Amino acid sequence: QKEVEQNSGPLSVPEGAIASLNCTYSDRGSQSFFWYRQYSGKSPELIMSIYSNGDKEDGRFTAQLNKASQYVSLLIRDSQPSDSATYLCAVTPLGRTGGFKTIFGAGTRLFVKA
Amino acid sequence: DTGVSQDPRHKITKRGQNVTFRCDPISEHNRLYWYRQTLGQGPEFLTYFQNEAQLEKSRLLSDRFSAERPKGSFSTLEIQRTEQGDSAMYLCASSSGVAEQYFGPGTRLTVT
């Protein structure tokens, strides 16, 4: 079992729709959860961080965390063509040194059709 | 705004040569991370530093890889005796404590 799993996609949504991206993780001791956006040929760009159960909203983005189910998701409202990218889920387990090796999923490719 | 910088941005080398990459983190960040990313995969953790101390190193990292952060500021990643399988994007990130990591533009390595 991979430590962080994401559906590779591609996920295709029409412009203006809600895009829903999902991620599961295996380490129950994980403390920190992040979503990054990566355009082709570029480095990852941080979109959201979430540390406690529930929802966290930032503009058009909402991150949702459910530690009991070991599940984290990202919702993108009013999707735009410029949102077309690969979305990476990242999880930081509690390391033996007290911190903190971050594990990334392979990413979900999102296409927003104009 | 001075973000994370990496140098060089591209490196082409012949198999068997040594290469060294540099990363300059955001100035107030005490943690620095190195990752490797290949096409279609997420960044793979290599190692990280808190100030000048290397606190964790991936078991996947062979002895040909070494990283340093001598004064707790910039860091170097050296790959000795490069192999074609080392071709990848090498990413550096920094953070303040255990907070969010911010990535540099990466160094793309091609081993011929």
Taken as a whole, chain B contains a residue count of 112
Alpha carbons B102 and B27: distance in angstroms, whole number: 12
Residues linked to residue A14 through DSSP beta bridges, in sequence order = A113
What would the pLDDT profile of A67-99 be if each residue is shown by its tens digit?
A: 999 999 999 999 999 999 999 999 987 655 545
Task: Work out the percent of chain A whose per-residue pLDDT is above 90.
Answer: 79
The CA-based angle A18-A90-A30, given to 5 degrees, is 115
Q: Which of B33, B40, B105 sits opposite A43 (nearest CB)?
A: B105
Q: What distance in Å separates the CA atoms of residue B95 and residue A103, rounded to the nearest whole number?
A: 15
* pLDDT tens over chain B, length 112 residues: 579 999 999 999 999 999 999 999 999 899 999 999 999 999 999 999 999 999 888 887 778 999 999 988 999 999 999 999 999 999 999 998 767 899 999 999 999 9
Chain B contact residues (CB < 8 Å to A): 33, 35, 40-45, 48, 50, 55-56, 58, 89, 91, 98-106
Contact residues on chain A for B9, CB-CB shorter than 8 A? none
Q: How many CB atoms lie within 10 A of CB B67?
A: 21
pLDDT of residue A27: 87
Residue B28 burial by CB count (10 A; 0-12/13-18/19+): exposed, middle or buried? exposed
Tell which of B55, B59, B108, B110 to mutate to test the A interface (max A CBs under 10 Å). Answer: B55
* Phi, psi at B29, each rounded to 5°: -85, 130
pLDDT in tens, A17-68: 999 999 999 988 888 899 999 999 999 999 999 999 999 999 999 999 999 9
Which among A101, A105, A107 has CB closest to B45? A101
Type of residue numbered A42: K
Are the beta carbons of B81 and B64 closer than 8 angstroms?
yes
Picking from A31, A32, A88, the nearest residue to B42 by CB comes out as A88
Beta strands in B1-83 (DSSP E): 5-7, 10-13, 19-24, 31-37, 44-50, 53-57, 65-68, 75-79
